[in-house]
């Protein structure tokens, strides 16, 4: 959406989606539970399956491990947990205050770190998805045809490229938030060790 209408349109669309996934029910059962169910199932499978587990160097394993242990927790802390801190200077953001101006503020204040982290998050999750989809498809549909390794890489690139170009569009926009809100956004990022220097 940011590619078409900038951060304003992207924020409007995101706020519409929050109606479903950022409610007391939705966040627990549509976001957190599936995430931990996936991690638990994969871990148990590695431990108890009689078949030899996929090597730790396999793309699916590396991307899953990196996303689950580093990128997703960092993202969740910065975008969901830290903004709820009621103490100054953050003073607990409401959901409508956490739009793409938050992302733009982070990109303006810590451009290199945020570009690396957002790019890694998008690329890691998309590559994990494109590597895992054929496995699920082959289990669900006998004889299902899946993409080659090259095809999966092209698909991942086709998904990640618009995300990163949308991020670039937003990074080039001027900040459109009150200076006091920008300081609260910066304080939210600064709660994470990555943004304390």
pLDDT at 23: 84
Average pLDDT over residues 3-14: 93
Which positions ≥6 away from 137 have C-beta within 8 Å?
144, 146
* Chain segment 70-85, per-residue pLDDT in tens: 999 999 999 999 999 9
Q: What are the tens digits of pLDDT across the range 90-141? A: 999 988 899 999 999 999 999 999 999 999 999 999 999 999 999 999 999 9
Model-wide pTM > 0.75:
yes
Q: How many CB atoms lie within 10 A of CB 102?
A: 24
Distance CA 88, CA 105 (A): 18
15 pLDDT above the threshold of 90:
no
Domain boundaries along the sequence of the chain: 2-17+59-195
Contact 97, 181 (CB under 8 A): yes
């Amino acid at each position: 959406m940011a590619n078409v209408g900038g951060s304003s349109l992207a924020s409007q669309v995101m706020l519409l989606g929050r109606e479903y996934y950022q409610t007391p029910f939705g966040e627990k059962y549509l976001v957190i539970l599936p995430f931990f169910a996936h991690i638990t199932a994969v871990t148990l499978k590695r431990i108890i399956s009689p078949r030899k587990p996929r090597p730790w160097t396999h793309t699916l394993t590396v991307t899953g491990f990196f996303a689950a242990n580093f990128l997703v927790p960092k993202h969740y802390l910065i975008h969901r947990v830290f903004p709820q801190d009621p103490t100054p200077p953050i003073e607990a953001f409401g959901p409508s205050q956490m739009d793409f101006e938050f992302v733009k503020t982070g990109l303006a204040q810590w451009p290199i770190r945020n570009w690396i982290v957002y790019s890694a998050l998008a690329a890691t999750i998309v590559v994990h998805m494109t590597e895992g989809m054929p496995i699920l498809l082959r289990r669900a549909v006998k004889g299902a045809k899946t993409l080659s390794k090259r095809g999966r890489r092209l698909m991942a690139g086709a998904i990640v490229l618009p995300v990163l170009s949308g991020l670039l569009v937003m990074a080039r926009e001027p900040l459109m938030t009150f200076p006091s809100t920008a300081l609260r956004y910066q304080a939210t990022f600064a709660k994470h060790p990555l943004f304390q220097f």
